[in-house]
A and B are shown apart, each in its own frame.
Chain A
Amino acid sequence: MPDGAQPVLDVRGLKTVFRTRSGEVHAVNDVSFSLQRGEVLGVVGESGSGKSVTMMSLLRLLPMPPAMIRGGEALLNGRDMLKAGPKELRAIRGGKVGFVFQDPMTSLNPVFTVGMQIMEPLRKHLGLSHDKAAARAVELLDLVGIPDARRRLGDYPHQFSGGMRQRVMIAIALACDPDVLIADEPTTALDVTIQAQILELMKDLRQKLGMAIVWITHDLGVIAGIADRVMVMYGGQVVEEAPVRDLFARPQHPYTRALLQTIPKISGPREARLKVIEGQPPILNAPPSACPFRARCEYRFDRCDAENPALRPVGAGHAVACHWQAPAAPLAAAEVSHA
């Protein structure tokens, strides 16, 4: 990815809050990131870290109220999506930006055939005729590897298996040749062998179609396999951002480091005991005035309670939001077994 090229998506200072009866929940706090053409950005975080809400905010897919976008901008090819009017927004959703959700069963409409659901964006966004849209739908199903595509257009979602349904979702998202594809845990509900199929498919499609992908997941293994760059979120903030190899080789944030040590490996020496991140994720009922990870952090010191760390650069394309200075040495294997 050449530096200085105009990013296809550029998000600055995004803030989203939810108004609830017990006060405001600050789900996304000042999140900034950019995405180059053809790049896969992995977004990692556990439930409640704000990773999905960030992406849904961009397309304003959240119910408002209770959700409210408090600030920031999201430039898609230089135009701010957050300021887009209803008509422009409709053209973006499913047009310039495709979305694949986690659960393919609940995101497909059970009473319409798969063909109708793929043809809908083609007819609405591109104004294709029924026949042309049907032909394109067959192409799309072929592209995502659904055998016997023409016949299957008339099938309903329940006639497809989980992996096949997710392929249909991907076909719908790709229908209008999007610049950006946002994939929100697209393989989490699938079995590992099917997950591997979908991952291969996405890598393939990205090469063929050259779109940029935002891949949201809590699975670091998936990230390692598909992402170019990774953004780690915690408590509604970006706590670390790095090229994928750098992140796994030299994780800087205590949360990233702990996360990498807490998962058992499929090969290599077997861990005697898993490292535990004690405690629970924070409740975000106030705007952050201190580090969101401090309650669970083993390196906490005075400054962490006083000041919310800003992202600071620690290497080429690598930034971390932490007051603590991680040692230069790579994550020691010994640390895994003694902890």
Chain B
Amino acid sequence: MRDLTADAPQPLVRVEGLKMYFPIRTGLLRQHTGDVKAVDDVSFTIPAGETLGLVGESGCGKSTVGRAILRLYEPTAGRVEIEGEDVLALPPNRLRKKRPTMQMVFQDPQASLNPRMTVASIIAEPLEEHTDWPRARKTERVYELLDAVGLNRRFANRYPHEFSGGQRQRIGIARALALNPKFIVCDEPIAALDVSIQAQVVNLLEDLQEKLGLTYLFISHDLSMVRHLATRVAVMYLGRIAELSNSAALYANPLHPYTQALLSAVNEPDPELAARRNRIILTGDVPSPANPPAGCTFCTRCPKVFDRCRIERPDLVEVEPGRQVACHLYTEKTNQAGSTGGFGALSHRQQTNQQGVSR
């Protein structure tokens, strides 16, 4: 087990070397000819009560991380400790007992709610599975949950189709809360909602976190919303974490060239700013995770690529306190500059800043 004498508080969630490979089978005999490396060696921790934002473009593996952590998939390798217990090593009966602590809110509230079940039975389903409470107590709990997510108790016997998208997402959140979880994976919970409804759901998630001391892994492609919600942010590219940092530093001064491009691609709702900004427009598409490039996975699109990137895969290393980056630009510089460390890396970044195709 871990060193329990350390002063720092134990993180609620600790992920180490998580790998999720999906086998590719071809031919008549369905022979295993390769792997889609959806998640390839991902490590991070989330302290209790905090939100880790997991961002990246579609196909980068962010949703797979969320699902693998909750063991909705069987990961290929790695360790996922939740409250000090390795979830990936649990036998089925113990895993089942563990399930109440870790829950998930899905992206599409339409698809994740059974259309033939009433709201009350959807929210009560986890209670049916995991408790032997009498019916009256379950009903009471359902009402409590409806109150908590801001839905009228009178809606209990209605069906999902009678609700709007935002209300359906509230039902999904109530279901996730039913068993008093400590950790919730929110997989793009607002992506399917209208702008004017997104803020309602985000505020609800924040209120619940404060009230119940929840810990979130917030998976999203909406970088502005992650900035608003998350304490720390992990940026994923092609199955790996490119940069992991506290939120304020990451948005103020992104280190990894991919993070820089990603942030500069976000559309600022301000025409003055939009006209003035120097955008880094990446060329090309994300390579296939079945056949990732050798070396750094970002080397095919990186505006600052150099020889070493095509040969050697950079590790995620700490370059400043609380900031980890997987990029040779920073290790090169720290090696050469020696004592200047992270600071030297920054000036290097400024020099190379204009190499991107900017307009």
Contacts and interface: CB of A to CB of B under 8 A. Distances in A.
A68 interface: no
Contacts of B359: 200
Interface residues of A, number: 45
Contacts of A46: 194-197
Interface string B208-233: 00000000000001011101100000
Interface stretch (A70-78, A205-213, A275-283, A306-314): A275-283
Q: B interface, how many residues as a size bin?
A: 35 or more
A149 interface: no
Contact of B221 (A191, A196, A222): A191
B228 A274 contact: yes
A192 B198 CA distance: 18
A221 B266 contact: yes
A32 interface: no
Nearest to A274: B199
Given A164-B285, A197-B281, A265 B262 contact: no
Interface in B104-137: none
A161 B285 CA distance: 8
A246 to B, nearest CB: 9
B354 interface: no
Interface in A240-264: 244-245, 248, 258-260, 262-264
Contact of A277 (B196, B265, B269): B196
A304 B195 CA distance: 24
Interface string A263-274: 111110011011
A271 B203 CA distance: 12
Nearest to B204: A276
B271 A245 contact: yes
B58 interface: yes
B263 interface: yes
B57 interface: yes
B156 interface: no
A262 B198 contact: yes
A325 B225 CA distance: 31
Interface string B228-246: 1000000000000000000
Contacts, number: 127
A227 to B, nearest CB: 8
A162 B286 CA distance: 11
Contact of B251 (A47, A192, A267, A275): A267
A193 interface: yes
B274 interface: yes
A316 to B, nearest CB: 16
Contacts of A264: 224-225, 227-228
B195 A259 contact: yes
Contact of B266 (A223, A266, A274, A278): A266
B310 interface: no
Contacts of A263: 195, 198-199, 224, 269
A113 interface: no
B279 A196 contact: yes
A53 B202 CA distance: 29
Given A197-B281, A280-B166, A191 B203 contact: no
Contacts of A258: 196
A114 to B, nearest CB: 16
Contact of A192 (B57, B197, B199, B227): B57
Contact of A224 (B221, B274, B282, B283): B274
B262 to A, nearest CB: 6
Given A200-B279, A219-B195, A221-B266, 6 more contacts: A161-B285, A162-B58, A196-B282, A259-B195, A265-B268, A275-B199
15 contacts: A192-B223, A193-B282, A194-B57, A195-B267, A199-B267, A200-B279, A221-B266, A221-B269, A224-B268, A224-B271, A262-B198, A264-B224, A265-B227, A280-B166, A281-B194
Which 6 pairs from chain A and chain B are nearest by CB?
A: A221-B267, A191-B57, A264-B228, A196-B265, A46-B194, A274-B199
